Each structure stands twice: as structure tokens, then as C-alpha cells.
Structure 1
């Protein structure tokens, strides 16, 4: 199954909202997809993890095929995310990373990303999300940047061969923490077409010097996946909409005006206990904000 979804287009169109399965970890995947379809979501941001689509368990291909059928049944688009906390190491969050000093540990992360690329191709996903990892203690930054380019390069090549975008997320506290870091990586790799950006709107509020809407406009040529939640300046905490400081109508208008056509995935990984209700409230909030942007004549 392969239905490539264009990420950019000419002229404003309604945004395509999704919800992250890392915020629905108490639901079976089939139940989560049914819920999102019933609520009116356009897609799902699917984190590969043990409770939904385990990338390390046997028969990944057949389980992916079943997931593809469910996505088609419910009419949902999909982006594949690889931010599961303990999928590779049951005791250390997000380890190993692409920066791990141990070559075998780095290879485990690369293997996970290559599996994610294959899953994405089989699901018809537009993008595979990934991140760099934090700078290892005592590691020179220059060494870490070279290591990141060396490890992510083959994944970008595999994504290109599969017709999938590899969307790197700037993550607060990681080596690649901001948009400047993304541009440093893509330049080091020779600006490969398959390498794009996961733009997290909350992270823009948290640490970028420009407001989130300005970040959208500046990053537009490279954005392949979007994560969205509320957040406060200087505090990396994913918050339900209305609990932070972000003015969302200008952000959504910027996404529309720049022609973004990928999924805009709600990212609330610490709120699974209230996942179904938050999924309902989040979509209502985003649709209202999108309508306010349109009716209020907000301009980029």
C-alpha cells in the first residue's frame, strides 16, 4: 500500500489534523483509530511502540498490513513517529540514540529508523519522524555532529529509495535542539531531498527566538510533519490547548498560507489517562482556531 501525500501545495486549504498514539497508550490501536475517525480527525501520528505497532516484535510486515487495512477502513492518513521512550532500552528513556559512543548501540537506533521507513512505505505514510538525542557526557560537540551526519545519512538514503520523507525534529535538550541545528545537519549532508523537518509548534514557543507563526514561515520549505500542543516560554512541557501561551490562529494561518499539506498531529504524550476526552477537546479547539484565523483575516 503506497499513497504518497504531498506536503506542500498551491494556495490555502483546510489543515489535516491528527492525534498522536503516544497520547492514547491505554487504547488498543484499532480502538484508537476508530476513536479518531469517529471524532473527525484526518489522520494519526503513529508512534512505533509495544502497545500499538511494536517494531521489534515478530511478523512486523503482517501486523503493518493489518494496520494499513484499518487506516484505509477508517479513512485516516498517517505519519510514523519514533519517539517511544523505552522501545530500545527498558531502563533508559530514548536510549540508545544516534549519538551513542557505542557503535552497536547507534546501530540499534539506525535499525529502528530503517524499520520505521519500511513501515511508513507500507502504510503510505508521508513522513517518518526522528530526533538526534542528547549530547553524550564528555563528548565534544563537533564529534557528535559528525556522528549524527554519519548515522542519519543512510536512513535518509533509505527514505529516498522508499519514497518517504525523513523528518528530523529539533528537540529541547538534544544536540539538534532548534531550527538552526536542523539547517546545520541538512547542510552537512548536502541538503538531500528526502531530509525534511518535523516542526513542533510547542518547541518553537519554548526556545526559538521567533514566535511560532514566524517559525512556520521560515521553515516552510523543509516542513514534512507538524506536531502541535500548547507550551510556555522556556519550559519544555507539552500542555493541552489553552494551558500555555501560544496564540494558535496565526500559527494555523501560517501553515495554510505556506501550503503545508501534511498532518498536524496533536502531541500530548503525558496525558493518555485522559486521551479520548483530550482528543475530542483538542480537535474542537483546533477547528475553532482555524476558523478564527480565516474569519479574522489574519495574515502571514
Structure 2
């Protein structure tokens, strides 16, 4: 990309080829890249790029430019996308963090915590659509988040709204056989692993409820180091996001620009037997998305090669 033509890119994979060439190592991690970091590309072009670069999958954010969940013929468009993913050998997790897909004037609004019931229902509807899309794509999970507590709302009320809003989504996820993976997000009601466990308690620990663990968020605000967060999250981990970050600053950074020591984190993911996608999450770097996609995968592979030997056996209940 810089300073000359460089080495030739590998050809795109044919349908089914990945299953014949996948590594035999059961600890091998599978890496993806989030389409929210490739927002300036058409979805088909983004998928072709990721397959060309050697990624195992994609974190698909449902948005107006990438499989718009509110445009006509969603089911037909989803079927076409499923064929494209299969042809490229790409796995998928469905993400729902689009900034303005529901409200063109309010970032990430409405949320599951809003005061108006009709606003909460709009967010729930998006998640129900995401579950249907995920089932049709054979996705690992559907990602979601709680939202920020609205002004004037006490936290107990916010938790009640969150639990009630997620109940129909969890029912749909159970029927579809696709886990719902809630992400602790800095500044949100559900911001930490402890908050995730609070939600589990409120809901009665339903089987479809899982966890999205963002490694950068662990560095940002969790009391445990990121690798220990991975091990603590093992029984509920259904989706992983990864980027660099600094302590106390919620800013998704390209690898090498933050403070995270990645080999122990990747070793922890391998040790617990995590077999979902680990998706690079750089939404604020979409203007240079192809560049960051190209450099991120070699970084993760080098960090994986540097991982220490397994510390312990896979914990009981970890995701596979």
C-alpha cells in the first residue's frame, strides 16, 4: 500500500475451501474485522477485502450502508449475503452498534433505557431483526449494549427497563438458537463484568444470555488485567472484540498505540477454548479502514505466536 507494489495479495478462497485448510490446532483463534471500521466501503467490497487479507470472519454491524435492517427485502438481501459469506469462507457475528440507524439526530438512540416505551420498543425491534438476520446467516451471536442512563432516571428504574426490553429478544434468541451477547460499554448502565452479572441475576440467568468482551474496555476500566478478564468471563463469552486502549481513556486505538500486552490476552482466549470470532473494533478509523485491516491481522498473528504456554485447563462451562 505504501512505497511500491509490495507482495501480491492471496487469491480469494472458493466456497468450502476454509474447512479443508483450517488449522488442526484446537487452540487456534479466529480473527475478524468489524464493518463499522470499513464504513466507506460497500459491504461486498469490504467482505472481499477481508477474505483477500486472510481474515476468518467479519463483525457485521447492521447499518444503512451495510445490510440496512429497515430497507425493503431484508430476508432476500440476507440470503444473498449468506451465499457471499459462504463463497468467501467468512464466518460472521452480527453487531448492533450503528450510530444513527434508528435516529438520524441522536447517536445510538433510542436505547433500551429510554423513558418512552415506544422508544425502547424501537431498539428492541432492531435487536429482534438482528436475531433473525443472525439465524439466517448462521452467525455465532448477536451483539448488543445497554445504553446510557437517561437524565433524571434512577439506576434501579434503568435496570428494570433493560431487563424488560431484553426479555422478548432473549425469547427470540432461544428460538433461533443464536446467543445474545451483551457488551459492557464504558459510560453505559452496563459498563463492567460485574454489571453483566447483575443483569444475569435480574433475568434469572437465561441460557441465551451471553457476553461480548471488548479487550480494550477491560484495559480502560476493569479492576482485573485484560487476560484475567478473559478467564473470568469464560463461561459466558460468546463474542470478543479487540483493539488497543489506554487505562481510563475510552478511545479505540490501532494496535501498538495503547498499553495492552496482547500475547497474554490471546493466550487466555486460547486457553479457555474460545471458538467464536475475535473481531478488530476500530470504528473511528474507518477513513483508513483498508490500511488498518491490512496491518491488524499480521499484528494479531505475531502476538499469537508469542503467546505463553497454556496456564491451566479449559474452565468448565467455557464457550466452544
Structure-1 separation of matches of 2:126 and 2:208: 18
The superposition leaves residues 144-202 of structure 1 with CA deviations (integer Å, 9 ceiling, x where unpaired) of 10111011111011101000000000000000000000000011111011000000000
Give matches, 1:252-263, under 5 Å: 252-263=266-277
Matched positions, count:
288
Aligned counterpart, 2:13: none
Structure-2 separation of matches of 1:248 and 1:51: 32
Residue 297 of structure 1 and its aligned partner are, at CA, apart by 3.4
Aligned counterpart, 1:232: 246
Give matches, 1:188-199, under 5 Å: 188-199=202-213
Aligned counterpart, 1:271: 285
SS in 2 for 1:270: helix
Structure-1 separation of matches of 2:66 and 2:158: 32
Structure-1 separation of matches of 2:217 and 2:295: 21
TM-score w.r.t. the length of structure 1 is 0.95
SS in 1 for 2:283: coil
Report if aligned partners of 1:17, 1:265 keep a CA contact under 8 Å in 2: yes
For the pair shown, which has the larger CA radius of gyration, 1 or 2?
2
Given the alignment, which residue of 116, 130, 154 partners 1:140?
154
Structure-2 separation of matches of 1:299 and 1:104: 49
Aligned counterpart, 2:309: 297
Report if aligned partners of 2:271, 2:310 keep a CA contact under 8 Å in 1: no
Structure-1 separation of matches of 2:200 and 2:178: 16
Residue 298 of structure 1 and its aligned partner are, at CA, apart by 6.4
Report if aligned partners of 2:267, 2:309 keep a CA contact under 8 Å in 1: no
Give matches, 1:15-54, under 5 Å: 15-54=29-68
Given the alignment, which residue of 125, 129, 137 partners 1:111?
125
Aligned counterpart, 2:105: 91
Given the alignment, which residue of 174, 184, 202 partners 1:160?
174
Aligned counterpart, 1:71: 85
SS in 2 for 1:196: strand
Given the alignment, which residue of 59, 70, 75 partners 2:73?
59
Pair 1:249 & 2:258 matched? no
| Ranges in structure 1 where 5+ consecutive residues have no aligned partner | 1-10
Report if aligned partners of 1:53, 1:64 keep a CA contact under 8 Å in 2: yes
Give matches, 1:194-209, under 5 Å: 194-209=208-223
Aligned counterpart, 1:8: none
Residue 299 of structure 1 and its aligned partner are, at CA, apart by 3.3
| Ranges in structure 2 where 5+ consecutive residues have no aligned partner | 1-24, 313-320
TM-score w.r.t. the length of structure 2 is 0.89
Given the alignment, which residue of 181, 186, 193 partners 1:172?
186
Residue 129 of structure 1 and its aligned partner are, at CA, apart by 0.1
Structure-2 separation of matches of 1:298 and 1:266: 23
SS in 1 for 2:32: strand
SS in 2 for 1:198: strand
Structure-1 separation of matches of 2:129 and 2:141: 13
Q: CA RMSD in A?
A: 1.0
Structure-1 separation of matches of 2:229 and 2:215: 8
Residue 12 of structure 1 and its aligned partner are, at CA, apart by 4.8
Structure-2 separation of matches of 1:69 and 1:165: 22
